[in-house]
Amino acid sequence: MTELNIAIAGAGGRMGRMLVEAVQNAPDARLAGALDVPGAPGLGQDAAAFLGKPAGVAIESDLAKGLAGAQVLIDFTRPEGTLEHVAYCAEHGIKLVIGTTGFDEAGKAAIAEAAKKTAIVFAPNMSVGVNVTLKLLQMAAKNLNVGYDIEIVEAHHRHKVDAPSGTALKMGEVIADALGRDLKECAVYAREGVTGPRDPSSIGFATIRGGDIIGDHTVLFAADGERIEISHKSSSRVSYANGSLRAARFLADKTVGLYDMNDVLSLN
């Protein structure tokens, strides 16, 4: 069996460690590199030491050292760091799985441009369950297109820095597209004071931050006499890690191109 050489960005963080563990446990993957920001406490240490089974791979802040043996980089960090990694990987033929959220339009454009030089899977959520949920939402929106008010409620841990979550925004985009609307024009992100009656064409968002919530998302379709709720709740980051490995395997025979989890899971 040919092993896929994978590097992990943010290897010392919560998600990074989950990814390191997933790679270490995968029979068809090998941890080939680990990155973290300059000054991170784990720099120079074995990336898998926390598992009690060292991988022989030190966490590096230098991209050339951390990515020297990698075919694919999995990145769940911050937009500014991810874009630096994207530029380097595009120039050196390293493929990318990007789960980072919070990009502005310029950042998304930079990723699309890099995909002309290397193969990239870019998705706001790598969970297989979440991506199946997106297909369910598409189906629901197409059939509940008249007389139903749509609200998206998401909850995450206290450390998450962007809001609404990338997954919530993706849910909104999927629903808006199914309804023939532009999310930029119909999204409502805040309500305060005397707001007046609800615009029936709007899609509302509500954000909760607290504790150690991994990620909860609920879409409410509310009509007179009934409401339908479609929810996905994460109890562990392992679902994101396992989905990321599926994305990395998908890229094994790709050279260039921008893909998402619909491509990985053949949901298109």
Q: Which residues are catalytic?
A: 156, 160
- Helix or strand run (H / E) with residue 168: helix 166-178
Element (H, E) at 203: strand 203-209
CA end-to-end span of the chain: 29
Contact (CB, 8 A) for 118 and 95: yes
The enclosing H or E element of 72 equals strand 72-75
**Spatial contact of 216 and 155, defined as CB atoms under 8 Å apart:** yes
Maximum distance among all Cα pairs of the chain, rounded to whole angstroms: 63
